[in-house]
């Protein structure tokens, strides 16, 4: 049985922690913007030891990052935990976490990208419904305010005990990068372009519990004790930026990770696949990604929905992990059938 956290209410305290990268130490205005926005919505915000630190590619050593996670879960004032940003090292915290204590103190936990690692750990070790959604420095710090579509689906997910229901594609989207170091992000909103909506790479209908995350992040967990049972699940995947913040993951790497998942036999177990809109891909790159996705799953007949508002482009939906969802190509439908909070 999954554990669902209490829903977020006005006046509640939100913790912002940095369990992976520590970019608030380099771009403090982004965190300041996020806090200002959340407070304007009627929430209190609490920072922790490593929230504003920078220690190379991490915010702080793993033990300190893990302590922040545990302190946020133990803090009776905190009702929701939003991660600062992704990174590459969230998995280093696993061995320092007290999963029994987390189980006794279920809370909303939200983030994406490398935070996939923690979502998986909490799902496997605790059975906690967590939320694949916006981070503080990226989405909540958007100038002059977060994108409304992102906010709508975030609050539907965490501030309600009702299912999100039909997930309607955003009307517009962006993967424009404005230089945070030069504070170009404060000069104007990012340019938006028309969203053409969902695309079905393989038709069909499937219903099941949803699980997934950032492709390279979850691929590294294969074969570990943090790898969940995918039997009859709906898998979602999305791909991040590459080594440079303003470029997409190289296609060769995306193909590599997809085949790695194929070798785990994950595609033999799932009932359906949802793939997020790729970040900083040209039309040619996107077409090649779709081709490789069909090649890597060619042995199977499950439906594949492509181009959903998940991941590193904006806006983004918030997905409660482990709840029941349905995809149906005949109705062009992606529906979240079960609430993630109580």
Which residues belong to the active site?
Answer: 113, 238, 312
- What does the block give as tokens for 291? 């081709």
Quick check: 294 and 130 in contact, CB under 8 A? Answer: no
User: From CA 119, how far away is CA 213, in angstroms rounded?
Assistant: 9
Q: What angle do CA 305, 306, 312 make, to 5 degrees?
A: 130
Give Cα separations from 55 to 29, 65, 135, 138, 339 (angstroms).
18, 11, 19, 19, 38
CA-wise closest residue to 162 among 342, 340, 339: 339
User: From CA 102, how far away is CA 122, in angstroms rounded?
Assistant: 8
Q: Residue 90 has what DSSP assignment?
A: G
Place of tokens 């936990």: 109
Phi, psi (degrees; rounded to nearest 5) at 188: -165, 160
Length reported for the chain: 342
- What does the block give as tokens for 326? 């349905």
What separation, in Å, do the N-terminal and C-terminal C-alpha atoms of the chain show?
14
User: From CA 252, how far away is CA 237, in angstroms rounded?
Assistant: 16
């Amino acid at each position: 049985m999954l554990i669902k956290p209490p829903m977020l209410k006005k006046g509640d305290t939100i913790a912002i922690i940095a369990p992976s990268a520590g970019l608030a130490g380099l771009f403090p205005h982004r965190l300041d913007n996020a806090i200002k926005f959340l407070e304007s919505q009627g929430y209190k915000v609490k920072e922790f030891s490593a929230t504003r630190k920078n220690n190379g590619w991490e915010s702080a050593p793993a033990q300190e990052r893990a302590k922040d996670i545990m302190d946020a879960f133990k803090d009776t004032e905190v009702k929701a935990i939003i991660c600062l940003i992704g990174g590459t090292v969230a998995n280093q915290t696993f061995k320092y976490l007290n999963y029994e204590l987390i189980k006794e103190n279920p809370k909303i936990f939200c983030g994406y990208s490398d935070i996939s690692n923690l979502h998986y750990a909490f799902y496997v070790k605790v059975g906690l419904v967590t939320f694949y959604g916006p981070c503080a420095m990226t989405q909540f710090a958007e100038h002059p305010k977060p994108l409304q579509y992102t906010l709508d689906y975030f609050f539907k997910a965490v501030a309600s005990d009702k299912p999100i229901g039909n997930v309607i594609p955003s009307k517009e989207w962006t993967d424009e990068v404005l230089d945070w170091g030069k504070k170009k992000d404060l000069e104007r909103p990012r340019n938006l372009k028309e969203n053409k909506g969902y695309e079905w790479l393989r038709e069909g209908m499937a219903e099941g519990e949803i699980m997934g995350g950032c492709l390279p992040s979850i691929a590294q967990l294969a074969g570990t004790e943090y790898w969940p049972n995918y039997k009859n699940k709906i898998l979602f995947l999305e791909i991040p930026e590459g080594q440079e913040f303003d470029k997409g993951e190289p296609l060769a790497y995306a193909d590599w990770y997809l085949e790695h998942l194929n070798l785990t036999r994950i595609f033999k177990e799932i009932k359906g696949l949802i793939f997020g809109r790729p970040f900083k891909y040209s039309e040619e790159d996107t077409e090649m990604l779709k081709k490789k996705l069909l090649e890597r799953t060619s042995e199977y007949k499950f439906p594949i929905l492509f181009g959903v508002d998940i991941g590193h482009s904006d806006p983004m939906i918030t997905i409660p992990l482990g709840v029941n969802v349905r995809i149906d190509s005949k109705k062009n439908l992606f529906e979240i059938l079960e609430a993630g909070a109580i």
